[in-house]
Structure 1
Amino acid sequence: MPDAEIEKPLKQHSPLDTYRILTLENAENIEKLKLACLQAGHEVVPMLTISHAMAFLETKDHVDCIVAAAHLHNESVFEFLQKVRGAESHLKDSPFVVLCADPGLLAKVTSPAVEAAANLMGADKYLLMNEFDAHRLIDEITPLLPPIPLRHAIP
């Protein structure tokens, strides 16, 4: 696995207001998700596969929130959620958002079932956006963030 790169925010905040968000998204959508977080002043760890995301989460610095696509190519957001919630570390308590943005017809039809399953498995939020909205994404994840970034709170 190539080393994950923590991308620095485009808008500078104080270190105590700069959160780290791990994103797991399909290649064609990851840029807009990443850009939304960077423009809001947060660091981003963009990931394309569950194995790379878990390798980072288990071995690197803490993240303050995880945002994962509801519909991944050849992988399951539920598998990822189960791995995160089943971790025997700080990871199990990480805020986890399942994002369904720009859904096709099948995703729209199955959205209520996906939301119910995500909630039952421990997701903190399920977000359905008929069109991706960067400001709404940030507004929705902000209340889930800890009072201060975990890398400053946990030695």
Structure 2
Amino acid sequence: MSKYMCAQSVTLLMNQISTEKNPYLGGDERARILRSFLFSLALTPLLLLIEPARRIVSLEVTLAAIALGIFLGIGAAIGLTDVNLQVANNVTASIVVLVSICVATIAVWLIVPHQHIGAVLQFSVAFIWAMPITELLYHRLRTSEPS
């Protein structure tokens, strides 16, 4: 019985700590947008240093990949704006993210021809920049409205 109570108190303590406002992880929308910009800034050179990203096979494919990345980045930013992920179980969320990444990777390898893999990287760069820009504009428009 004491093991059960100890596990329950540890779980309660962990839940209490994870729901507190943390200036680095907390619910401040400006901090979240800043983290998103910093993530985009750090990830862009890594994606563009990969050799297939610098090779443009076809102008049409590259423009389509960039346009699709921007469109889906805007859609993801608007769609996820009011989603509260603080109530999600961390283990479940991690498993869902890992499975989603695996499924998306397999789908990309099956759908996209090998010579157009560079377009996937260009899509990724467009996507990771469209999200924070849209979040910033959405935040600005929402905070500038009179309450």
TM-score range, shorter-chain basis? Answer: under 0.3
* Larger RCO of the pair (alpha carbons < 8 Å, separation 6+): 2
Q: Which has the higher helix share?
A: 2
Superposition TM-score, scaled by structure 2 size? 0.24
State the structure with more CA Rg: 2
